[in-house]
Amino acid sequence: MAHSVAEIEGQLGKLWAHAAVARAEAARAEAALVAAQAEAAARAAAALAAARETSDAGGHHVAARTSVLNLVVVAGDKATAQECSATIAATASRHASRSLILSATDPDGPAGLDARIEALATTAARGRAEAGAETIHIAARGETGRHLASIIVPLLVHDLPVALWWPKDPPFGTHRAERLLPIADRLIVDGSAWSGSGLDLLAQMAAVAEERHVVVVDWALLRQARWREALASVYDLPDLRPHLGAVRRIEVEYAAAEPGDPAGATNVVRPLYHVAWLASRLGMTVVEPMRRASEGRRHATLRQKDHEVEVLLRPALSDLGAGSTVSVQIASRLRGAELLGSVAAGDRIVEVSVLDNGRERVRRSYVAPRLSDVDLLGRAVEEGVADPVAVRALAMAGRLLAPDSGVHLGSDRSSSHGTGDRSHDDD
Amino acid sequence: MSPTRVSAPPPPARTARQLREAATAARRRSRPDADTNPLRQGLRLERVPDPCAFVLFGATGDLAHRKVIPAIYQLWRTNLLPAEFSLVAVARRPYTNEAFAAEVRTSVEKFSRVQPIDEAAWDELAKRITYQQLDFSDDAGFDRLGARLDELDGQNGTAGNRLFYLATQPSQVTEIVRQLGRVGLDKEIRGAGWRRLIVEKPFGRDLDSARLLNHEVHKVFRETQVYRIDHYLGKETVRNLLVFRFGNGIFEPVWNRSYVDHVQITVAESIGVEGRGAFYEETGASRDILQNHLLQLMTLVAMEPPSSFQADALRDQKLQVLRAIAAPDADDVRRDVVRGQYGPGWVGGEPASGYRQEPEVDPDSETETYVAGRFTIDDWRWSGVPFYLRAGKRLPKRATEIAIQFKDVPLRLFRESAGDPAPNVLAMRIQPDEGIMLRFAAKVPGLGLDVRAVNMDFAYDTSFVVDSPDAYETLILDALLGDASLFTRSDEVEAAWAVVTPIINAWAESAPPHLPNYAAGSWGPEAADELLERDGRRWRRI
């Protein structure tokens, strides 16, 4: 256990000097790695701890990964920190070279920090090259919890990109965000885990991304890759492709927390992203931003070329988790011909159907499993540069949620406050 | 006054092909909706294959079951094939559609790289499999095939697009192509479907037979319709070689005769002929590996930067390399090329019989199971830099590697060092353990000035989450998309044979060395070591 940045640095140096023994242990644990990466990583860390006590041998180092970064996790509370730690450990063979997991405890207690360092020395699948990484768990107490940036900066591996992972509601506009965002090359969030409808934070994030040119990797958008492929496949047939310029209606059905989502409390970031992505790809502009209507519905009006496009987000009862997309429909009309493309997805299977003037033209289902948190973190870590499609989708989301849209009214706004992070946001 | 920003005009088209490409690009710009799907941008594929029928000749054979059908299943499973797809399996044996689908399912269960088999995906694919019994010399059979494909266009919406994959014996290629031409299955009609042909290696046995084969194929198909598959070119690391060379600025300045001492390319197999004795007796290592895999890898190492990654831009540069390789005369072959054949030995702790004891092999066979050679490229970049190529069966391990050995430093400042600061090496491992290694000298910690070689290692496994696709998945998808970049053009094939045929001819006219001349499990005949020792070099220990 360390209690200052200097002690953490000292522990890190000692730790790698003893890593050779752990390497041997990790090699023995390799068979279990693929099936139970977290378990193997934990064993490797335990072996390392044992090695520290029994060996002074130095001079050997666990080979570092060739593609690395600093991953800073602003976990907020202890439970979230543990969840993030487990996800990081499960990506052991492909995760960042240095992870800092920060949580703030006892905000009114005496200032100080408790740090614990965990080393992950693993072999990759099939017993090949080694990967070495370390995770530093820092719990900041009292006044120290308000100065996280001062702890983070000295512990970053120099010359490596910094990813800032905010697993819960990011406190955009606060002093803490002002201090932490400038050190990050990319921001990792999960919009679908935000409190309330999530639209307030989404609008803020769109503004932050545009103003600060931060690369945003939103798991909510990453998760939709399988939906995007399915929707794109509707228009792969050359004779249907011209319909992309004649869209009249986009309708997204999502699983509501309660029937009709009367309080508007279901997170609708994912349904909104579908609309934002489609609108940005198909050259649409916002005529009327998103607004709440009766029966928990949300409406917007877009324009494509010379015609308007009606947008509807509709709550539905579903076995899927609240906020999950149930289906996406795109209706178009071109020279009198009506086309309706529909996509629905469950945990593993995606279904695509196309009705051409009421006649079934395509019906296909295929395997495209939902991405796990481990997959999502792996992808977020590997995103090298901003994905231009994601950038435009987020910017369009911002326009769909323009200030006069009404999303700031009622429950949407109030529901996204009061999170654990906000309680000490004056870094 | 601030300068006005103007975009540079595109360079004028200079050749007929450039004019065609410019015209095509202009057409695409004028009607974007027709050619591109804006929803595909940023997805795995920005373009998906057109609806099509995949017609697999030799569908009951080993290649089809081990490689081609598992690759199709994997592409289907991951939604990289269109819904409007048919797999038309063609072979001589009688099968019902259901019996054939059941048989290939067993193969997919055995050979697919992703297990277990996905029932839903398989069921969907199985519905699209049709078996067509056909004797390749039977005119009526090909007439029926043509009619069947037309029917499938109506049933499955395959839109007249057809890919013919010849996973057959090489001797059957000409006959199948002739029959396809006779029934008009080669004819592309604007807007009514494309027709493509995939041919497996070997592309001939020597220069004359390759020319004849190309001539017969070209009687029916245009070169742009023909995709000659060398699966090595679909391997991830081979494709990464292009990215490594042309996506990194720091290596290009040293990628030439001024800095490179020599290049070694190794294709080592630990297995023997694995029941393919009769086939191997007719081919040997020169035809099986040197003419295609080794020379293709050599072209990728040595080629000039192409102007684009368009198929012909890439293949033009590879062709230039092949044409610049000095074709050996009989004396050169005696001096610079070594052949070998394995005798009994031990591989991986198991006894291994000699080549002549393998089934279907002549007990007095003179077929080479090992070939090594010293080649030079007569151009400004590589003049004087030897390329050492070797390939063999029953070597100690399976390994394919390209190693660029750089020149030594001009002055050894650390000659008192206890270690030996070896010259820099850049090694690209194609298989297994795909990756890239750079060796350089580093000071050993301590008060002295000892120098030791250390390795900086990049391994695919530890840097990327996604699995690499199988080479056949890559190549089949490319062919369906009409991208011929990773396929070999007819003039490339002939240029490669122009290098290898003099070797085969020289061997035919001279007495072979005493065979077998290396033990199974060793690194080949002593003469191969002497080939490098003569130049003051040695093979890398892999």
**B278-301 pLDDT, tens digit each:** 889 988 999 999 999 999 999 999
The whole domain housing A66 covers 5-160
Nearest CA in chain A to B446: A59
Burial code (b: 16+ CB inside 10 Å, e: under 16) for B263-298 equals: bbbbbbbbebbeebbeebbebbbbbbbbbbbbbbbb
Hey, is B165 helix, strand or coil? Answer: strand
pLDDT for A15 = 62
A241 touches chain B (CB under 8 A): yes
**Measured between CB atoms, does A379 come within 8 Å of chain B?**
yes
Which tokens hold the place of B392? 């063999």
Residue A407 in any domain: the answer is no
pLDDT in tens, B397-410: 889 999 999 998 88
CB–CB contact B83 A362 (8 Å): yes
Pair (A9, A156) in one structural domain:
yes
Q: Residues of B with CB below 8 A from A228's CB?
A: 39, 42-43
> Which residues numbered 75-94 in A keep a CB inside 8 Å of some CB on B?
93-94
Instruction: For residue A131, give the nearest of B433, B445, B462 by CB distance.
Output: B462
* Chain B residues within 8 A of A246 when measuring between CB atoms: none
Mean pLDDT of B299-310: 92
The per-residue pLDDT for B502 is: 96
State the smallest CA–CA distance between residue B487 and chain A in angstroms: 25
Which tokens hold the place of B324?
């610049």
CA closest to B455 among chain A residues: A63
Q: Is A360 an 8 Å CB contact of chain B?
A: no
CA distance A241 to B33: 6
Quick one: pLDDT at residue B189?
Answer: 78
Check if the beta carbon of residue B148 is closer than 8 Å to that of residue B130: yes
CA dist B221 and B163 (Å) reads 12
Q: Which two tokens stand for residue B20?
A: 């065609």
Does the beta carbon of A150 lie under 8 angstroms from any beta carbon of chain B? no
A328, A252 Cβ separation under 8 angstroms = yes
pLDDT at A27 over 50: no
Contact B463 A65 (CB under 8 A): yes
Beta carbons within 8 Å of B214's beta carbon, 6+ residues apart: B203, B204, B490, B493, B494
Which chain A residue has the Cα nearest residue B437?
A: A66
Size of interface A-B (CB pairs under 8 A): 107
Helices (H), A183-268: 199-212, 219-222, 225-234
pLDDT at B433: 76
In a domain, A111, yes or no: yes
- Listed by start position, the domains of chain B span 47-200, 234-470+489-533
Mean pLDDT within B326-335: 92
pLDDT higher than 90, residue A357 = yes
- Residue B491, pLDDT above cutoff 90: yes
Over residues A252-297, the pLDDT tens digits come to: 999 998 888 887 889 999 999 999 999 999 999 999 999 998 888 9
Q: Are residues A156 and A237 in the same domain?
A: no
Q: Which segments within A167-324 are labelled E, that is strand?
A: 186-189, 215-218, 247-255, 284-292, 298-304, 307-316
For residues B8 and B423, which has the higher predicted lDDT (pLDDT)? B423
| Mean pLDDT, rounded, for B462-479 | 82
Percentage, residues of chain B above pLDDT 90: 65
Taking CB atoms and an 8 Å limit, are A124 and B461 in contact across chains?
Answer: yes
Checking if the pLDDT of B11 tops 60, the result is: no
The answer to whether the Cβ–Cβ distance between A66 and B462 falls below 8 Å is yes
CATH homologous superfamily, domain B47-200: NAD(P)-binding Rossmann-like Domain (3.40.50.720)
Q: How far is B194 from chain A (nearest CA, A)?
A: 14
Domain end point (choices A142, A160, A178): A160
Chain B residues closer than 8 Å to A231 by CB: 39
Mean pLDDT of chain B: 88
CB A365 to CB B38 under 8 A?
Answer: no
d(CA A253, CA A314): 5
Q: Who among B37, B79, B82 is closest to A368 (CB)?
A: B79
The pLDDT-based confidence of A40 (bands split at 50, 70, 90) is: very low
Identity of the residue numbered A269: V
Predicted confidence (pLDDT) at residue B357 exceeds the cutoff of 90: yes
Write the pLDDT tens digit of every residue in B78-110.
888 988 899 999 999 999 999 999 999 999 999
**Which of A150-159, B178-187, B454-463 comes out lowest in average pLDDT?**
B454-463
The predicted structure's pLDDT at residue A38: 38
Å between A226 CA and nearest CA of chain B: 9
Closest CA in chain A for residue B36: A241
Is residue A406 domain-resident?
Answer: no
Query: Which of A30, A34, A37, A66 best tests the B interface by mutation, with the highest count of B CBs <10 A?
Result: A66
Closest CA to B403 of B540, B536, B495: B540
In whole angstroms, what separates CA B321 from the centre of its chain?
16
Taking residues B516-529, report their average pLDDT: 94
Structure tokens at A146: 């308000």
Per-residue pLDDT at B445 exceeds 60: yes
Nearest Cα to A183, choosing from A157, A201, A210, A144?
Answer: A157
Provide mean pLDDT across the span B106-125: 89
Q: Across the interface, which of B33, B445, B465 has its CB nearest the CB of A241?
A: B33
Query: How far is residue B363's CA from residue B370's CA, in Å, rounded to a whole number?
Result: 17
Please give the average per-residue pLDDT across B195-216, as a whole number. Answer: 94
Q: What would the DSSP string read from start to end of B49-64? A: PPSEEEEEETTTSHHI
Q: What pLDDT does residue B390 have?
A: 97
Average pLDDT over all residues of chain A: 79
Contact (CB, 8 A) for B382 and B257:
yes
Verify that A113 and A260 share a domain, yes or no: no
Q: Which chain A residues are Cβ-neighbours of B42 within 8 angstroms?
A: 228, 387-390
Contacting residues of A for B79, CB less than 8 Å apart? 229-230, 233, 350, 366-368
- The per-residue pLDDT for B259 is 96
Chain A positions in Cβ-Cβ contact with residue B33 (cut-off 8 Å)? 241-242, 244-245
Query: How many CB atoms are located within 10 Å of the residue B238 CB?
Result: 25
What confidence tier does B417 reach under pLDDT thresholds 50, 70, 90?
low
Domain-embedded: residue A188: no
Q: How confident is the model at residue A132 (pLDDT cuts 50, 70, 90)?
A: low
pLDDT of residue A92: 67
Give the pLDDT score at B416.
66
**Interchain CB contact of A39 with B (< 8 Å):** no
ipTM of the complex: 0.76
Share of chain A above pLDDT 90, in %: 40
Least reliable range by pLDDT among A292-296, B5-9, B266-270, B305-309: B5-9
Q: Which residue has the higher pLDDT, A65 or B498?
A: B498
What angle in degrees, to the nearest 10, is found between the helix axes of B119-126 and B97-111? 140
Nearest Cα of chain B lies from the Cα of A128 at a distance, in angstroms, of 7
Give the pLDDT score at B442.
Answer: 86
Span B15-71, pLDDT tens digits: 444 444 445 444 444 444 456 889 998 887 777 888 999 999 999 998 999 999 999
The DSSP secondary structure of B322-362, one letter per residue, reads: HHHBPPP-HHHHHHHEEEE-EESEEETTEEE--GGGSTT--
State how far the Cα of A68 lies from the Cα of A94, in Å rounded to an integer.
Answer: 9
Is A349 a domain residue? yes
Look up residue B66 and give its amino acid: R
Q: Which residues of A touch B462 (CB under 8 A)?
A: 65-66, 93-94, 124, 128-131
- Contact indicator for B342, B398 with CB cutoff of 8 Å: no
Mean pLDDT, to the nearest integer, of A228-250?
92
First and final C-alpha spacing in chain A: 24
Number of separate helices (H) and strands (E) present in chain B: 18, 18
Helix (H, G, I), strand (E, B) or coil at A142: helix
Contact B370, B525 (CB under 8 A): yes
- Same-domain status, A256 and A140: no
Residue after which a domain boundary falls, among A333, A354, A371: A371
CA distance A78 to chain B (A): 28
For position B419, what pLDDT does the model report? 59
Token readout for A95 is: 């995760």
A183-220 pLDDT per residue, tens: 888 999 999 999 999 999 999 999 999 888 788 999 99
> What is the CATH architecture of B234-470+489-533?
2-Layer Sandwich (3.30)
Q: Is B262 known to be catalytic? A: no
Contact B120 A389 (CB under 8 A): no
Q: Has residue A415 been placed in a domain?
A: no
- Asked if the Cβ–Cβ distance from B124 to A124 is below 8 Å, we say no
Residues in chain B closer than 8 A to A390 (CB atoms): 42
- Specify if A203 maps to a domain: no
In this prediction, residue B218 has a pLDDT band, given cuts at 50, 70 and 90, of very high
Contact between B229 and B200 (Cβ < 8 Å): yes
Set of chain B residues whose Cβ sits within 8 Å of the Cβ of A129 = 433, 435, 457, 459, 461-462
Whether A131 and A254 map to the same domain: the answer is: no
pLDDT > 80? residue A65:
no
What does the pLDDT read at residue A304? 95
Asked if B33 lies within 8 A of A245 by C-beta distance, the reply is: yes
**What residues of B are in contact with residue A384 (Cβ under 8 Å)?**
none
Q: Pick the closest to residue A390 from A199, A205, A168 (CA basis).
A: A205
Candidate list B65, B231, B262, B293, residue with the active-site label: B293
Asked if A378 reaches chain B (Cβ–Cβ under 8 Å), the answer is yes
Identify the CATH number of the domain in which residue A261 sits.
3.30.360
The 10s digit of each residue's pLDDT in A72-108 is: 999 988 889 999 998 988 876 666 678 999 988 777 8
Tell whether A388 is within 8 A of chain B (Cβ).
Answer: yes
Task: List C-alpha distances in Å: B469 to A371, B68, B118, B473.
Answer: 19, 13, 17, 6
Compute the nearest-CA separation of B222 from chain A (Å): 25
Best mutation site among B31, B36, B39 for testing chain A: the one with the most A CBs within 10 Å?
Answer: B39
Q: Scan residues 125-144 of A and list those with Cβ closer than 8 Å to B.
A: 125-126, 128-131
Domain co-membership, A107 together with A245: no
* Interior angle at CA A199, CA A195 and CA A204, nearest 5: 100
Cβ of A366 within 8 Å of Cβ of B121? The answer is yes
Looking at the structure, tell me whether residues A244 and A331 fall in a common domain: yes
Amino acid at site A247: V
For residue A110, is the peptide bond before it cis, meaning its omega torsion is within 30 degrees of 0?
no
Q: In what order do the strands lie in the sheet with B195-200?
A: B129-133, B85-91, B52-57, B162-166, B195-200, B226-229
Four-point Cα dihedral A94, A100, A103, A106, nearest 10: 150
The residue that leads in pLDDT, B500 or A41, is B500
Higher-confidence position of A333 and A104: A333
CA separation (Å) from B53 to A366, B56, B86, B269? 19, 9, 5, 36
Q: How many domains would you assign to chain A?
A: 2
From chain B, the residues in CB contact with A230 under 8 A are 79
- Look at the pTM and tell me if it is higher than 0.80: no
Residue-by-residue DSSP string for B430-456: EESS-EEEEEEEEEPSSSS--EEEEEE
Based on the domain organization, do A146 and A45 belong to the same domain? Answer: yes
Mention every residue, 6+ apart, whose C-beta is less than 8 A from residue B289: B267, B371, B391
Q: Which range (A91-100, A345-354, A406-415) has the least confidence?
A: A406-415
Q: Give the span between the Cα atoms of A21 and A52, in whole angstroms.
A: 9
CA-nearest of B263, B489, B271 to B384 is B263
Closest residue, chain B, to A274 (C-alpha): B39
- For residues A287 and A154, state if they share a domain: no
Cβ distance of B79 and A233 shorter than 8 Å: yes
**Residue A63 clears pLDDT 50, i.e. is over it:** no
- State which amino acid sits at residue A286: V
Residue A149 pLDDT: 83
Residue A371 has pLDDT above 50, yes or no: yes
A355 to A245, A259, A343: CA distances (angstroms): 17, 29, 12
Of B79, B461, B465, the CB nearest to A366: B79
What is the mean pLDDT of the segment spanning A5-16?
A: 71
What pLDDT sits at residue B134? 93
